[in-house]
Structure 1
Amino acid sequence: MRVFLLSLLVRFGCGAQLQSEMYGSLESPNFPDPYPTDTERNWTISVPDGFRITLFFSHFDLEPSYLCQYDFVKVKVDGEALALFCGKEETDTEAVPAQRVITSPRNSLSVQFVSDFSNEEQFSGFVAHYSAVDIDECSEHGDKDLLCDHFCHNFIGGYYCSCRYGYQLHTDNHTCRVDCSGAVFRERSGVLSSVNFPGPYPKSSDCWYRIELEAGFRVQMNFDPRFDVESHPDISCPYDHLKIQAGSREFGPFCGAQSPGIIWTDSNVVSIRFHSDDSGENLGWRLSYSATGSQCPVPEVPPNAVMVPIQTEYSFKDHVVFSCQQGFLLVQDGGTSDRLQLECQADGSWSGRPPHCDSKILTADKHPTEPPP
């Protein structure tokens, strides 16, 4: 039993040896003397993140066999074999590492040496050297957009991202976002859009816009037919979306490729919120807005009067001016004047009543000139 247990310890070793330096070497047991029979030895090489491992055999002398059934060296990553070697360097076998340099796809690598029950020719084994090599993530990554939104900068052991002017690096250190909140539009008409429209809008951003018009006006919005916001085929706008709040009414959320078209509101104050997540290359949206006001009835033009401008409809803040034809005086509230201006008010009424025009002769008779005392 003691001999059997001792044989197991020699065969399977005492666990893998951990190599954590940035460079080093491995040798078969007893090197440069012949390696023992019935032996297994394992090494695990680990270097910091941001590096890979290169492995090179400077000496290799193992028992040759078909498909390396007897003695062999196996190089593995995460349990999967990268290479299997056996034989002598002087022979013409494909199983010898020769001058081949093995590069691991990750920052860890394992090497396994196994010998069977015989070593009749006294093979000397192997010497291998490893070193950590820096990964240039910026040039090696297949899709740079998944690595950095805008700019990628490599350094030894890693990389970092930066953004174009006007953007800010998100807390994920990969995404470039913008500060697009707080813009207030007070003109009676205007245009607003997602950042960069019609180019891809920034990721991981929450944009807030506000339209504030004078009381009595209502906001009308007209969306550009080009509308492209990331969507989902089964769920309503789970990623990016546009929402509009106008008074007590909410419009949206909007996403996908269908433009919202024209939206009429009953409010003079509108809030627009646009959210984007950390992925996607959609082109965004644009809208133009205008002010529509309360409608006032078309004024009736009194006899002998002239009104400008003549329109089919009048809205809040529109003006009309009354004057009289030649030979008549404009009379309003007991007084006379040359002209009278009325304004359409927020409640849809005019600021005064239309005047009337009296003949100057009749007006003079009503107000005779008194002789001087």
Structure 2
Amino acid sequence: MRLLLFLGLLWGAAATPSGPQWPEPMFGRLASPGFPGKYGNNEEQRWTLTAPPGYRLRLYFTHFHLEPSYLCEYDFVKLSSGTKVLATLCGWESTDTEQAPGNTTFYSRGSSLDVTFRSDYSNEKPFTGFEAFYSAEDIDECQAPPGEAPTCDHHCHNYLGGFYCSCRAGYVLHQNKRTCSAQCSGQVFTARSGVLSSPEYPKPYPKLSSCTYSVRLEEGFSVILDFAESFDVEMHPESHCPYDSLKIQTDKEEYGPFCGKTLPRRIETKSNTVTITFVTDQSGDHTGWKIHYTSTAQPCPDPTAPPNGHISPVQAKYILKDRFFVFCETGYELLQGNLPLKSFAAVCQKDGSWDQPMPECSIVDCGPPDDLPSGQVEYITGPEVTTYKAVTQYRCNEFYVMRKDDGKYVCEADGFWTSSKGEKSLPVCEPGNGYIYTRDS
């Protein structure tokens, strides 16, 4: 009873996943007329076996004993699936001119299998015919036969009675439920240079995809396109790019379509906006393309560094948005007119001019040194010289001494007079030892 219950459940499980049970038996037995006795002359019988969609039929023989003949012209069992003849069998052992099933298991190419038995008008001796068993089994559609394209572009998932496909990230399943189309539309590039390529380059690009790449630079720039490495887009020998194609569009001109294996020449678009469109069909196995894009613009005049200064960075050419900085040598400061600057940078504009004039590098001036109480100051470098590295010497008046410093001060790069000890405050003149200061003295 338990075995019958199990077989009943198994029979029910063989139904299609979302529909009613399949009306045909999912397994069974076939035999020649009169088996296990001999079969008669001029016999002909045909069985049409069917299974649910997503299943195939498996058939094997447990007994086979037919009249042998050259190419099985007399008595035979023929197995067919659709328009394909799987085997024509006769005899009881295979020879060079006839095939017997032996231990071979036969499989239908779809969900149907036709079995035909025929005997001719005479037999030289009695032959006992055949016995065969069949059953329906799930087709693993994910296992593509050798030499055939994979069932799914990316991932194939088999289940009882069917299969489904899924795609890697960045792709979407096409409405044909097998092809993975690239999600490659709406890509925008705003850097002044970069690289564009077909999806998966240099591997074969995906089928049934439509890609758009937009280069959008500021007004004043002009985009230059250079095709790099290799170019391989499906073509037709008699029609211009009817399958897969690459087109380039600017606000001034259209280039292409391009296909084939010849690397296109450099394209100087004379435009700051470029749209590249790449469309593929459902066939072919090609590696695609790669583009290096750069940009150019009207150059600005080469900047000349002011005396006692230098420019960074130094370039062969400066174009739109390029900039340079001016740095002064130690002891000099940036001035724009009479206005001191903490830093200076100039930017090249789209009309080919710099956005501000070159500054000066003016020597730092510490100004006249402060007066020293009970002392005086002497200009060592030169009369009234107060600029960078100028030296002054403080001395105390008679009867006063300078105890903590030698009185030598230098004009430093920060604009302050600084002592040899690094102090910016004035030295102190104190009364000498043994001298008492009075009003009358």
> For residues 64 and 311 of structure 1, what CA distance do their matches in structure 2 show?
92
Match of 1:180 among 181, 184, 189: 184
**Equivalent residue of 2:247, what SS?**
strand
Aligned residues: 324
Moved more, 206-215 or 113-122: 113-122
- Match of 1:84? 89
More helix by share: 1
> For residues 183 and 282 of structure 2, what CA distance do their matches in structure 1 show?
15
- Match of 1:165? 169
- Higher relative contact order structure (alpha carbons within 8 Å, sequence separation ≥ 6): 1
> For residues 325 and 129 of structure 2, what CA distance do their matches in structure 1 show?
109
* Change in 2 beyond 3 A, CA 1:121/1:231: closer
Moved more, 50-59 or 247-256: 50-59
Residues 307 and 320 of structure 1 are in contact (CA less than 8 Å); yes or no, is this contact kept in structure 2? no
- Match of 2:115? 111
**Equivalent residue of 1:180, what SS?**
coil
Match of 2:274 among 246, 270, 284: 270
Residues 282-331 of structure 1: per-residue CA shift (max 9 Å, x gap): 3332222233223567899xxx9x99899987644567999xxxxxxx99
Q: 1:70 offset after TM fit, Å? A: 5.0
The answer to whether 1:288 aligns with 2:302 is no
After superposition, the CA RMSD in angstroms is 4.4
- Match of 2:153? 149
The answer to whether 1:199 aligns with 2:203 is yes
Q: 1:155 offset after TM fit, Å? A: 2.8
* Change in 2 beyond 3 A, CA 1:133/1:101: farther
> For residues 267 and 72 of structure 2, what CA distance do their matches in structure 1 show?
75
Residues 72 and 88 of structure 2 are in contact (CA less than 8 Å); yes or no, is this contact kept in structure 1? no
* Change in 2 beyond 3 A, CA 1:41/1:79: farther
Residues 184 and 211 of structure 1 are in contact (CA less than 8 Å); yes or no, is this contact kept in structure 2? yes
TM-score, length-scaled by structure 1? 0.67
> For residues 126 and 319 of structure 1, what CA distance do their matches in structure 2 show?
93
Residues 127-172 of structure 1: per-residue CA shift (max 9 Å, x gap): 3322223333333521475322223333333333333333322222
Counterpart residue identity of residue 84, structure 1? L
**Equivalent residue of 1:147, what SS?**
coil
* Change in 2 beyond 3 A, CA 1:290/1:76: closer
Residues 52 and 103 of structure 1 are in contact (CA less than 8 Å); yes or no, is this contact kept in structure 2? no
Residues 240 and 276 of structure 1 are in contact (CA less than 8 Å); yes or no, is this contact kept in structure 2? yes
More strand by share: 1
Moved more, 28-37 or 146-155: 28-37
TM-score, length-scaled by structure 2? 0.58
> For residues 187 and 338 of structure 1, what CA distance do their matches in structure 2 show?
35
**Equivalent residue of 2:243, what SS?**
coil
Q: 1:181 offset after TM fit, Å? A: 1.4
Aligned residue runs from structure 1 range 178-327, under 5 A: 178-295=182-299, 315-317=319-321
Greater Cα radius of gyration, structure 1 or 2: 2
> For residues 313 and 117 of structure 1, what CA distance do their matches in structure 2 show?
99
Moved more, 122-131 or 173-182: 122-131
Residues 316 and 346 of structure 1 are in contact (CA less than 8 Å); yes or no, is this contact kept in structure 2? yes
Counterpart residue identity of residue 205, structure 1? S
> For residues 315 and 121 of structure 2, what CA distance do their matches in structure 1 show?
109
> For residues 144 and 80 of structure 1, what CA distance do their matches in structure 2 show?
20
Moved more, 250-259 or 309-318: 309-318
Unaligned segments of structure 1, at least 5 residues: 1-18, 323-329, 356-373
Counterpart residue identity of residue 275, structure 1? V
Residues 144 and 151 of structure 2 are in contact (CA less than 8 Å); yes or no, is this contact kept in structure 1? no
Q: 1:208 offset after TM fit, Å? A: 0.9
